[in-house]
Chain A
Amino acid sequence: MRITVDNLTFGYDYRTVLKEISFKMNSGDFLAIIGDNGSGKSTLVKCMLGINKVAPSQIFLDDVDVTNYKQFLNIGYVPQIFDDFNYEFPITVNEIIHSSIMRDISQDEILELLDKMGILELQNENINTLSGGQLQRVFIVRSLINQPKLLILDEPTVGVDRKNVENFYKTINSLNAEGISVILITHNIRESNANFSHVLSLHNGEGIIKEVPRGDEA
């Protein structure tokens, strides 16, 4: 998915969070968004998703203005853990995944996705019993179930142990190698072995984008 952010300024009430941000992303790119807490990383992503309402002509998804964009099904979004989901009520991994299916997908394909993310054996578990890392994988499968062209991950490895962080990024790298564009919000870029193509660093609402030479890891 192609993304163009053109001179984006956004704020809540009287506070400006993002100031004149501009960057472009092509299909298959892997963008890391870095910055301190409160630098506007999640705000930026929520603007792209249409959750934060922005003025017209500032964000384009596949050349369509986000204010007119209807195909958000093309974007798989994995929010920060404990963000919006109601966890206490019993629901199984399968129930979460199946309720989110909006496109034709066979049972085999679902099982394959679960297996790929290493949570095949957890499909009938209540989500209350899962660890942070396992839960994160459930949300990734949920975001992949509708075959998105772009995957947005907001701090996906918070609370996940080191070994699983490595495995996690291997999977993300291979999804990216399959052609899915990825946007990863992270506060610690050194920790990850993700194969970025671009890094956008946000500081006090202002952003600088850099291209990164890609490694072979996929």
Chain B
Amino acid sequence: MNVLAQSVPFILALFEHSFLRYALLTGLIMGGITPLIGAFVVIRRLSFIADTLSHFSLAGLSIGLFLINTLGYTFISDPLYLAIIASIIGALIIEILRGYYENYKEISMPIVMSLGTALSALFISLSGGFNTSIYNFLFGSILTVGDKYLAVMSTTAILVLALVFFYYRKLVIISFDESHARLLGIKVGRFQFVSTLILALVVSLSIATVGVLLVSSLMIIPVAAAMKIGKSFKNTIFIAVLFSELSVIGGLWLSYDLNIASGATIVLVNIFILFVVVIIKHIYTNQLRSKRTTKEDVGNV
């Protein structure tokens, strides 16, 4: 779904339409912080958490729509606020359940996801069934984000960058080796709690850009591609952010030119990059292996 008529090239359209500039700027900010958070999520083997939280956010959105549209509670200006609250509540439930099922920590995800999906379905049906708002929540509507949303997103980005900058070393130790972190006297529980809250906030905010169903892809796919070619931790994060930004720019551009859904295009470009990386890496590794074998053969002769 695209609200643009592509009469002018993408670059010129950026100068012409403020909403397109907002979209690009929001996408770039999002593209910068999601893989940064995603890297720590992937290392801690919590890739599924973003998906779980986004489904729980959807419950918040649906409840919001129900309150606004059906009950007429107009003081709730934007259901997105309820998505943020729901996402944080979801994160708290996950943390509680992770402590409760100590040896089966991942069990918390399907429980919270089911609850989120069930509540969403219930309140969507109560507020009159499927409509454009729901479609936008599911698949994103980056072209309709305004300056208010951009301000919230920028503040969140600054918060995330500051936290990562100040606690970088501790985050690295906790993510790679939790027991070592405890031994060094780091308050692991407190760190995990705060990072889950931040994750919840970013996930719920990402909904406006790529939607509930595609949020986790923004966070995980660039990292999945980067970790196959990164030489160091910092280098991997840098590559992940680069891939992510490329997919935002490429995705928006393509969606403008082809008049197709922006959120979905961004994710597809992301996946395309991942495929290219996997294929090139595969070819490179094979070549390296055959070179080694040839050398060994020569050596044996």
Contact = CB atoms under 8 A, between A and B. Distances in A.
B235 interface: yes
Nearest to B179: A84
Contacts of B172: 91, 95, 99
Contact of A102 (B175, B182, B184, B232): B184
B232 A126 contact: yes
B176 A146 contact: no
A91 B176 contact: yes
Contacts of A86: 43-45, 175-177
A173 B169 CA distance: 31
A79 interface: yes
A77 B180 CA distance: 8
Place the interface of chain A in its size category: 20 to 34
A23 interface: no
A73 B233 CA distance: 24
Contact of B233 (A70, A75, A85, A89): A89
Interface string A60-89: 000000000010110101010000111011
Q: Which of A51, A73, A86 has the most CB of B within 10 A?
A: A86
B183 interface: yes
B106 interface: no
Contacts of B45: 86
A94 B232 CA distance: 9
Q: Which of A51, A89, A100 has the most CB of B within 10 A?
A: A89
A213 interface: no
A77 B183 CA distance: 8
Given A99-B172, A100-B173, A88 B227 contact: yes
Contacts of A79: 179-180
A100 B180 contact: yes
Contacts of B233: 89-92, 95
A85 B231 CA distance: 18
Contacts of B227: 88-90
Interface in B31-74: 39, 42-45
A96 interface: yes
A16 to B, nearest CB: 19
Contacts of B39: 89
Contact of A84 (B168, B180, B231, B236): B180
Contacts of A72: 182-185
B237 to A, nearest CB: 10
A77 B182 CA distance: 11
Given A90-B235, A91-B233, A85 B185 contact: no
A116 interface: no
Contact of A90 (B177, B179, B185, B232): B232
A98 interface: yes
Interface string A38-53: 0000000000011100
B179 A95 contact: no
Interface in B77-129: none
B169 A98 contact: yes
Nearest to A49: B183
B185 A73 contact: yes
Given A86-B43, A89-B43, A90-B233, A100 B182 contact: no
A85 B177 contact: yes
A84 B45 CA distance: 12
A84 B42 contact: no
A90 B227 CA distance: 6
A99 B232 CA distance: 13
B179 A102 contact: no
B148 interface: no
B234 A73 contact: no
Contacts of B257: none
Contacts of B178: 84
Nearest to B174: A99
A100 B170 CA distance: 8
B168 to A, nearest CB: 8
B232 A92 contact: yes
A89 B179 contact: no
7 contacts: A70-B185, A75-B183, A85-B180, A89-B176, A90-B233, A91-B176, A99-B168
Interface of B: 39, 42-45, 168-170, 172-173, 175-180, 182-185, 227, 230-236
The 10 closest A-B pairs by CB, nearest first: A90-B230, A99-B172, A91-B233, A92-B232, A99-B169, A90-B236, A72-B183, A89-B43, A84-B179, A95-B233
